[in-house]
């Protein structure tokens, strides 16, 4: 679910001092975006934009499974297939990914 190499690379890129702030901002923004998804269900353009944002954000911090799901939804909308993703599925994936991330984060900090 988590690409730990990406997380490690990001931490090295921005520095350990700023990493926690980036993580906190990421978690807040992703949750807020997920909370908006149900309201976008009838607006394919808005939904695609939200999925695009989530895809990029989650990929940047190593949430690879969630990023893949967002990309699939974005591609489906672009192909005219509608929105085959259930927002609850994305929320569930995020919750599992977030928990794994937070559980393993102390190990990364210690490295």
How is the chain split into domains, by residue range? Answer: 4-110
Q: pLDDT means per 10 residues in the chain (111 residues)?
A: 94 92 95 90 88 94 94 88 75 95 87 69
Which pLDDT belongs to residue 42? 83
Which pLDDT belongs to residue 29? 95
Rg (alpha carbons) of the chain, rounded to whole number: 14
H-only helix segments in the chain: 4-14, 16-36, 44-60, 64-78, 87-110
In sequence order, what E strands does 1-111 have? none
> What's the pTM?
0.87
Which pLDDT belongs to residue 84? 63
């Amino acid at each position: 679910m988590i690409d730990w190499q990406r997380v490690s690379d990001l931490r090295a890129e921005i520095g350990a001092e700023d990493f926690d702030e980036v993580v906190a901002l990421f978690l807040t923004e992703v949750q807020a975006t997920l909370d908006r998804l149900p309201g976008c269900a009838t607006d394919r353009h808005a939904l695609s934009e939200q999925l695009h944002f989530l895809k990029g954000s989650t990929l940047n911090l190593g949430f690879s499974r969630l990023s893949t799901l967002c990309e699939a939804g974005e591609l489906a909308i672009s192909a005219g297939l509608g929105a085959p993703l259930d927002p609850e599925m994305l929320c569930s994936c995020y919750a599992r990914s977030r928990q794994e991330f937070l559980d393993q984060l102390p190990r990364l900090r210690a490295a």
